Amino acid sequence: MMPEPVLFSARAIEEVKKIMDAQSLSPDYALRVAVGGGGCSGGAEPILGFDKKKPADLEYFINGVRILIDKKHLLHLAGKQVEFYEVDDLSGFHFTDAPTGNEQR
């Protein structure tokens, strides 16, 4: 079995579920992980949104959340992890490098 190309922290999955419930999204919609335009720096920025499955999408599930990634975005997203942070009056999703299992403790 192929490992998930993008990992999600438990907190990030919890927040995604809250948003899906609050928006009353139909079961046809899933969380899309994609890359957006690079702007002046030229790098592709990871983004999250809700969308319906398309033919080129890879689909997987994490704790009941259906996640979609267009296969052409995999190169830019592989090895990333989605976290959710709350600091003071600011909160949001943030992409980090996923742990590799080789870190020293």
pLDDT tens readout for residues 55-85:
999 999 999 999 999 999 988 888 899 999 9
| pLDDT value at residue 46 | 85
Query: Is residue 27 helix, strand or coil?
Result: coil
Average pLDDT over the chain reads: 86
Q: Domain residues of the chain, as ranges?
A: 6-97
Instruction: Say which CATH superfamily domain 6-97 falls into.
Output: HesB-like domain (2.60.300.12)
pTM of the predicted model as reported, rounded to 2 decimal places: 0.82
Residue 101 confidence (pLDDT): 62
pLDDT band at 90 (very low <50, low <70, confident <90, very high): confident
With bands split at pLDDT 50, 70 and 90, how would you rate the model's confidence at 105?
very low
DSSP 84-104: EEEETTEEEEEEEEPP-S---
